[in-house]
Structures are given as structure tokens and as C-alpha cells.
Amino acid sequence: MIQTFGQAKKKLAQFASSLGLGDVGAAVNSALDELASTRNWQRLRRVRRFAVEAGTVALPQDCGQILRACMNGAPVSLRGPDYDFLMSGPGDLDALPEGYRYVTGLQDRGFFPVMYDPASAGGVRLAAFGTDDIGPAAIRVVGTDASGARVSSSAAYKRWEDPLLGVDGETYAAVEASAASQTGLVTIERVVLPEGLSGYVSLYGLDGGSFAFLSSMHPAVRVPEFRRYRVPGFSAGETYRLLAEVRVRFMPLLDDRDALPFETLLPVQYMLQSLYYMNSGEVKQADEYRQRADAALVMREAADQERAGVVVLNTQYADSLGEASVTDWFNI
């Protein structure tokens, strides 16, 4: 049974001291984060569809990696970050070798502080929008300017007046005025959000009278990261359809109505106890509770993966549950 964050905090309140924290929610989030990273759990997988219109695919913040993928309906291979450097490989895929086959797969490029890089060679000033009223100069950004110098800046922040309607010219002028003192950034190396946020923050680059979307960031993750994949052989002007099975990255729960990723609280309790004993220096006891937490989820995993489908007895026999064809003569 899936339970909410509020239910978990009530039922696990007695274990809040496991991490030496007075905040029950923080303790539960720490335990969930540990559980999520122990295995590639079936409940932490999702199938997502993307429309790829550039040479790089940027995953949302809650996606850790692509496990399997299809491009334009056909399965494609996934390659690691070292693919460019193989002695028998193609080399630098930013400049595709002549004769290289178009769109042979996806290549993992690792983690980046934003989903999309600034598009202007001269640099862009930054603006952030969210539902919280946190005041100006609240989002810290580190990057490089047009001269290559490393600079630190504060993104102009404005509260959404109506996120569904977008930003009009008057709002753009107001944000541009508040960002006038910023140094234009060509690359972004790090983004740091302030504490106390409750809603997602959207980061934009001010570019020629309009906003260019850069990333959408979870309020509880102070230093966001996004995974990107290169599409070797991408043809400009075309749109590719990407079907991907992704591993979900655990994001801290904030609202009491948020749902836990696992359907039982017992592994969370065991992990809280494991963290307590580890902090106390009792490593053996900590490992035992960690194994209990893992085993409890493994049993759930086995039950989740049971299939109630058709049992194939003989595909080559007419009237069999798994017959290969409705034509009798085909089933020898």
C-alpha cells in the first residue's frame, strides 16, 4: 500500500532520533535516499517519451539515467562517457567523422548544472521564477563569461504571477532591469538554490527580448544536476521520437501529500535504524539492519515482477495457449 509523506512521518516519528535530527521528515528522506540507491528497483523505473529536436537530450531532474531506448521506433544502443576516447572508436563526436552512420544510439555525457546551455556566444543574463516569495538576488550561479573568466552571479528572481500565461513584455522589462548588473554567462558550472523553498524554480536566460528556458529545479535540492545524452549523427531541422526506460532519481519529499516511492514502511524503519547504528560506530549492527531493509524490498520486488499472463505450452501446436498462428497448417 502506497503511503503519503505525512503518514510516514507519523508512523516513524519514534525513529526520528536515528540521525540525530529533530525533523522527522529529514530523517525519512535520508532513509528513502539510501534505499533508492541500493538497487535498480522496478518501482523506480518509468517509461518516458521525448521529442528530440537538438543533438543533446536533457533528462528532467527526477531521471537518473536511461536504461533502454528506442529512437524513431527502433531499439538503439547506449554508450558510456568513455566512448569518445576508445582507441578503436570514432573519436570526438562533437564533430562526427565522415561516413559515420546517422543516429546509431545515445551516448551518456554525464551530469550538468542545467538542462540546456546558454545559446548566446556573448553570454546571457539570468532570471529565475517560482511560486515562493524569497526576494531578489536569491539564486547563486557560477560560470564563465565571454572572456573565459570564471564569475559568480545572482540570478534575478521574480514570483510567478500566472505561470500558465507565461511572461509578457512588461514583465520581461522589469526582470531585465533587475538583472542589469549581472555579467553575461556563456557557460554555467554551478547553480545553488536558497533554503526554505517549497515550489519548483525555473531558470531562464534573457536573450534578445525573450526568455530562453534553461532548467526546472526541485526546491529541496540546493545544488541541482541534470543528466544529458548526445545523439550522434543528429540532423538539424529534424525531430526524433525517443522512447526511453529511465531510472527515477529520488527527490526529497516536501508536502505531506507526496507519495513514497515504496509501498511499505518497514524497510524505511530498518534503514533509519541502520543509519543510527552507523552514526554510533556499531558497524556490524548497522549492516544487519541495512540487509534487512534490502531483503524486505527484494521480496516486494519479486511479487511486483510476477506475471499473470498466458503460460506458453507449445507455440507450434494448434489450439495451444501459445500457438504461433491462427492458421492450423502453420502450427505443425
The candidate with the shortest Cα–Cα distance to 140, out of 70, 78, 90, 188, is 188
Tell the burial category of 209 from Cβ atoms under 10 Å away from its Cβ (0-12, 13-18, 19+). Answer: exposed
Query: How far lies 124's CA from each of 66, 92, 115, 179, in Å?
Result: 30, 27, 15, 10
3-state secondary structure (DSSP) of residue 232: coil
The three grid cell numbers given for residue 76, joined into one nine-digit string: 538503439
Least confident of 17-26, 203-212, 213-222: 17-26
pLDDT tens, position by position, 112-164: 999 999 887 778 888 888 888 876 667 899 999 888 899 988 887 887 765 54
Cβ atoms 88, 81 nearer than 8 A: no
- The reported pLDDT for the residue numbered 303 is 73
Sheet of 125-130: strands edge to edge? 187-192, 139-144, 150-159, 125-130, 201-207, 210-217
- Quote the CA–CA distance of 315 and 154 in Å, as a whole number: 65
Model confidence pTM above 0.95: no
